[in-house]
Amino acid sequence: MPLDLRKTVITALLLPATFGATTVNRCEDALGAITFTTLSCPSGHARTPHSVNNALVGTIAPSSAAAESLKKPLKPELVVIGQRDDGCGNILSAEQRRKAIINQQTPAGMTSRDVESLLGKPDKVIGRNAELRFLYEEKKGRSRQIQFDEHGCVKGTQQKERSKK
């Protein structure tokens, strides 16, 4: 029995080092989703082959150069996540802003640029102590007054009907 054990150990030591090696494909689609597979990548995916060494139980650890290459971290991908800053504290979401413009409304949180885009250039601009007011003369004797704070954000709106004399 000791002779059979020796033959097994000698045979295991003489096996080529690539015996446990496998090629794994890294597949990346157009949206950046990554899949690892031993099969080929689907059409439209970028393929990057990677050689993987699966050491057998009881074998010698890989060389220091191979171990160092395994320890090196991959370069992290830069992901930029941003949000529009309108200067008014983002009180209104993009959806709320769109609805207000469609409905010809000027809620608090709109910028003066949004108001001018909606109603055009004001008929009169009044500035007092870092506050600004836009006056719009509308049809049928109505007027609209929009008040802005020091940051150029809508603070309040007033609509008036002119009295008939």
Do 66 and 17 reside in the same domain of the chain?
Answer: yes
Report the CATH number that the domain containing residue 142 is assigned in CATH: 3.30.1450.10
Q: What is the pLDDT of residue 64?
A: 59
Instruction: Tell me what pLDDT residue 3 has.
Output: 57
Residue ending a domain, among 71, 102, 119, is 71
At 24-52, the pLDDT tens digits run 888 899 888 888 888 888 888 898 888 87
pLDDT score of 58: 66
Structural domain of 9:
2-71
Number of domains in the chain: 2
Q: Which two tokens stand for residue 51?
A: 């050689």
**Per-residue CA distances from 92 to 18, 37, 84, 135, 147 (Å):** 61, 45, 11, 23, 17
**108 and 63 in one domain?**
no
pLDDT for 68: 63
pLDDT, block means (10 residues), the chain with 165 residues: 64 55 84 86 87 69 60 67 74 86 87 87 87 84 86 79 57
Residue 83 domain-assigned?
no
Do 67 and 99 belong together in one domain?
Answer: no
Same-domain status, 150 and 99: yes
Q: What is the pLDDT of residue 17?
A: 47
Amino acid 56: pLDDT: 66
Residue 86 falls within a domain, yes or no? no
What tokens appear for 138 in the block? 């509308």
Residues 109 and 142 in one domain: yes
Q: What is the pLDDT of residue 18?
A: 45
pTM for the full predicted model: 0.44
Q: Would you state the pLDDT for residue 144?
A: 86
In a domain, 123, yes or no: yes
Kindly give, in sequence order, each residue whose CB lies less than 8 Å from that of residue 67, ignoring residues fewer than 6 positions away. Answer: 61
